[in-house]
Structure 1
Amino acid sequence: MISEITGIRRIRMLYLQLLYRCNFECLHCFHGKRLQHADAFTTDEAVNLLTLMRDEYDTEAVTLLGGEPFVYRDLAQVVRYAKRDLGMQVEICTNGYRIERRLTEIAPDLDLLRVSLEGIGTTNDTIRKFGSYRSALSALEIAQQLGVRAGATMTVTSRNIDEVLPLARTLQHYGVEQLKLHCLRPVGNAADHPELLVNDATAYTRLRERLASAELDIEVILDEDLSELGAPDACLPSGGPVEIERIEADPRGALTMSCKAVGKDSHAFWYDKLTDHIAHRPSATDELTLAVPDVVYGRV
């Protein structure tokens, strides 16, 4: 259905939100009140969607997230199926809170563990949860011992923009290969915390200058909206055989192609769990109608 409407023939990665439930209530979480919702993929539904994406869109990788994927009961089964049965690259994006036992269980089938952090020590814990900083570093240490490649993500806010560089240096000591920096968007919980927004865009220029001169071993990639001029437009493709990097499935089955549309109910496509097919459900505010640009990432 996606190819018939848009011309997209290949989608490299599926971002699969297994559930809304989470053991955190981060101040900037785009899910907002949905963290309390019970929507989730069953194991069969997750397996079916992964198979459909591999067969119809040549999807070669999956990132499992939530909510918090490590509180998903059947995480190991989904990881094993994606890796062993479909041959996909498997990544998990997690808060890293007390995941050591389950991480050890899935380590043989995991290609990348990506842990979310929002600064050093209390800066992180104030935004995320008390004790989460030490727990995340412990998870990274276990990953290093298990031989699992590790990455990290950080959403840049007014509270932590000065800690990006110190965090990058700390992560290097835990074998983290890449730090991915996101721009805060005022949806979900972030809409209730406007004080987190960076209102002085020149702060992004100073951040880039510090990172460029730091001679870090860790790779830093960042959302190009983290700049004074903002990101260049990269609208979703339409017409003709094309490829896109990713599509995101939320726990209800809503499919979103632009990161900038995630959390806004701007989806034009829907994975119907009962019939195991993708439906087109256009609206006046969907991401195709509004030509919502996708996020553009660059390297420091």
Structure 2
Amino acid sequence: MLDQVAGITRVRMLYLQLAYKCNFSCAHCFHGELLRSPENFSVVEAQALLDHFIDVYQLEEVTLLGGEPLLYPHIVTMCRYAKERGLTVEICTNAHPGFRGKVRAAAPYLDHFRVSLDGLRDTHDRMRKTGSFDGAVAMIDLARELGVQVGATMTVTRHNLDEVVSLGVLLQEHGVADLKLHALRLVGNARLHPDLEVVDPSRYGDLHAKINAAGLSIKVVYDSDLLPQPPGAACSNLVAGGWLDRIEADPRGGLTVSCKAVGKDVNAFRWDKQRQIIRYEPRENDEFALGIPDVNYQTVTAG
């Protein structure tokens, strides 16, 4: 269906949200009220979705998400299945230390363990829970001990923008391979916290200057909206030669092509869990009709 409607014949990465359930309710979470939704993928449904993208769209990688993916009761089973099917497997987690046992069990099937951090200790704990920063760092160390490559992701807000470099220094001391920076999108919980928004985009230019001056050894990957003058291509331009870099599946079956459309409920494609097919359900306000741009990722090079 993706090839018939949008010319997509290959998808590199699937972001698979297994369930909305989470042990946190972060101020910037794009899920918002959906965090209370019971919707989820059963193991059979999730495996069928992986099979479809592998067999039809030559899928190479999967990132398992939530909510909190380590709350998903069958997370180890899904990691093992994805690895056995030849995929590169990543989990993106809040890394609460209560998940230590699941991380140990999943480690043999993980290529990448990505931890969400919202700044240094005080800033992070205000966004999440007291003690959550130290707990996440401890889990980073555990994953490293288990031989899993570790990365971090950070949503850049007005409150943590000046902590990016300091966080990068701390993470590289703990052996973290990369820090991925995302621009805040005012959807979900973030709509209730407009104080998080970086109103002056010129501050992003200062951020890049500080990163370059710091000479960090950790790789810094950033979403192009963090440029002072964000570029962007419409959804119709997302496919080059039939190749799509990534697509996101939510627990209700929604398939979203543009990262900027995630959390806005404007997907034109849906995974039918019962029939195990992709359905095309165009709407007047879907991501293709509106031409929602995608997010491009770039690497900050010190110099």
> TM-score scaled to structure 1, two decimals?
0.97
Query: Partners in 1 of 2:69 and 2:92 — Cα distance?
Result: 8
Other-structure match for 1:157:
157
- Which runs of 5 or more structure 1 residues have no equivalent in the other structure? none
Other-structure match for 2:74:
74
The 4+ residue runs of structure 1 with deviation greater than 2 A are 231-241
Deviation at 1:236, TM superposition (A): 3.8
More divergent stretch after superposition (253-262 vs 227-236): 227-236
SS in 2 for 1:38: coil
Query: Partners in 2 of 1:239 and 1:144 — Cα distance?
Result: 36
Q: Which amino acid in the other structure matches residue 86 of structure 2?
A: G
Query: Partners in 2 of 1:123 and 1:179 — Cα distance?
Result: 17
Query: Partners in 2 of 1:249 and 1:268 — Cα distance?
Result: 12
- Which runs of 5 or more structure 2 residues have no equivalent in the other structure? none
Residue by residue, what CA displacement relative to the aligned partner does 1:163-194 show, whole Å, maximum 9, x if unpaired? Answer: 00000000001111000000001000000100
Other-structure match for 1:176:
176
Query: Partners in 2 of 1:121 and 1:263 — Cα distance?
Result: 27
Query: Partners in 1 of 2:37 and 2:180 — Cα distance?
Result: 28
SS in 1 for 2:226: coil
Deviation at 1:239, TM superposition (A): 8.2
Other-structure match for 1:41:
41
Query: Partners in 2 of 1:91 and 1:117 — Cα distance?
Result: 16
User: What is the number of residues matched between the two proteins?
Assistant: 299
Q: Where do 1:52-71 residues align within 5 Å? A: 52-71=52-71
SS in 1 for 2:23: coil
Other-structure match for 1:88:
87
| Inter-CA distance 222–241: structure 2 relative to 1 (3 Å threshold) | closer
Q: Percent identity?
A: 48
Q: Which amino acid in the other structure matches residue 89 of structure 1?
A: T
Q: Which amino acid in the other structure matches residue 168 of structure 1?
A: G
Query: Partners in 2 of 1:90 and 1:128 — Cα distance?
Result: 26
Deviation at 1:232, TM superposition (A): 3.4
Is the 2:234–2:291 Cα contact (8 Å) retained in structure 1? Answer: no
SS in 1 for 2:294: coil
Deviation at 1:241, TM superposition (A): 4.5
Query: Partners in 2 of 1:90 and 1:163 — Cα distance?
Result: 29
Query: Partners in 2 of 1:234 and 1:123 — Cα distance?
Result: 34
Query: Partners in 2 of 1:201 and 1:269 — Cα distance?
Result: 33
Other-structure match for 1:291:
291
CA RMSD of aligned residues (A): 1.2
Other-structure match for 1:25:
25
Query: Partners in 2 of 1:269 and 1:224 — Cα distance?
Result: 25
Is the 1:268–1:282 Cα contact (8 Å) retained in structure 2? Answer: yes
More divergent stretch after superposition (242-251 vs 227-236): 227-236
Residue by residue, what CA displacement relative to the aligned partner does 1:208-258 show, whole Å, maximum 9, x if unpaired? Answer: 100011111100011111122122335343788410110000000000010
Query: Partners in 2 of 1:17 and 1:108 — Cα distance?
Result: 21
Q: Where do 1:213-232 residues align within 5 Å? A: 213-232=213-232
> TM-score scaled to structure 2, two decimals?
0.97
